[in-house]
Amino acid sequence: MRVCAAAPFAAHEALAAGDSRWQAHDIVRLRRLESFDSEPTWVRDAFARAPFAVVRRAQAADGFVAIGVRGVARNERYGTWTRVDDIEAMFAPEALSSTHVVENRAALPALLALDALRHDTSGLGGFVWGPTGSVGFELATGKPTVTSGSDLDLLIRIPNYLSRAQAQQIQSTLDAHASQAGIRIDAQLETPSGGVALAEYSSGKARVMVRSASGPRLVADPWTL
């Protein structure tokens, strides 16, 4: 997040595991957006336009969920928290992978690439996956968010060990679709330890960066806790 509010709870109250009902990259519709700290001027307009936020990786106390608010500009990202009671609905990335795209938006490169991946059973067909980023936000909210230059960001849930060779095959498939669409496709593997960039893991590095609620760290095996 470019800017982050001060936590509305004491540090010792934060829970490392958080509430398992919501995971990073889920999109939540909120009844209200409570202000816990000074916030950028654009936040209220953004929330009025789309009362949604994205669950982010950060520790939260019982009864809270760490969220990020999206503005219109790329640098308008605000990290804050919501109370669990203010969450009205949740949309996981995998639930959005089959969401209907509005016809007059379907020709945008990132949405074309998503549609191609939906029909490519040899690529991600055996995995639980879905769009995040601007594509996921547009599909969840119905608000135009994707532009002609938007990347396609993906989350792939990998609860069990994935070999480097398998990761390279997935990366190769995504690279082919990205080249055809003329955009970037960035995928994150959701492992038991946290999020790992597919490109980094498939590159064969001895250790990879894992992002979790307690912060980033380098690990050799994201499936070993």
CA distances from 91 to 21, 97, 125, 211 (A): 11, 11, 20, 21
What tens digit of pLDDT does each residue of 27-73 get?
Answer: 999 999 999 888 999 999 999 999 999 999 999 999 999 999 999 99
Cα–Cα distance, 12 to 154 (Å, whole number): 33
Verify that 75 and 111 share a domain, yes or no.
no
Find out whether 22 and 65 touch, Cβ atoms under 8 Å. yes
Q: What amino acid positions are annotated as catalytic residues?
A: 151, 153
**pLDDT reading at 17 higher than 80:** no
pTM of this structure: 0.94
Handedness of CA 197, 200, 205, 208 (dihedral sign): negative
Domain-embedded: residue 129: yes
pLDDT, residue 26, reads 98
CA distance 101 to 44: 27
More confident residue, 190 or 123: 190
Can you tell me the mean pLDDT for 135-159? 97
Whether pLDDT at 206 is above 60 = yes
- Both 84 and 112 in one domain: the answer is no
- Per the listing, tokens 């938006």 go with 105
Is the per-residue pLDDT at 111 higher than 90? yes
Beta carbons within 10 angstroms of residue 63's beta carbon: 14
Residue 224 belongs to a domain: no
pLDDT at 110: 98
Which is more confident, 154 or 19?
Answer: 154
In a domain, 198, yes or no: yes
Residues 111, 97: one domain? Answer: yes
Residue 42, pLDDT score: 96
Report H helices in the chain. Answer: 43-49, 93-96, 109-119, 133-141, 164-181, 198-202
Phi, psi of 103 (to 5 degrees): -55, -45
Average pLDDT, the chain: 94
- The answer as to whether 38 is a domain residue is yes
Neighbouring residues of 106: CB distance < 8 A, sequence distance ≥ 6: 112, 115
Nearest-angstrom CA–CA distance, 64 and 222: 26
Question: What is the structure's pLDDT at 2?
Answer: 63
If one counts the domains in the chain, the total is: 2
Same-domain status, 143 and 173: yes
Residue 18, pLDDT > 80, answer: no
Q: What domain range is 13 assigned to?
A: 3-91
Q: Which amino acid is residue 216, in one-letter code? A: P
Residue 107 has pLDDT above 60, yes or no: yes
* Distance separating alpha carbons of residues 62 and 187, to the nearest angstrom: 30
Q: Rounded to whole angstroms, how far apart are CA atoms 152 and 129?
A: 13
Average pLDDT, integer, range 141-165:
97
Residue 221 has pLDDT above 70, yes or no: yes
How far, in Å, CA of 194 to CA of 146, rounded? 26
pLDDT of residue 46: 96
Q: Is residue 144 part of a domain?
A: yes
Whether 112 maps to a domain, the answer reads: yes
Mean pLDDT of 169-190: 97
pLDDT at 30: 98
Average of per-residue pLDDT across 120-129: 89
pLDDT at 24: 97
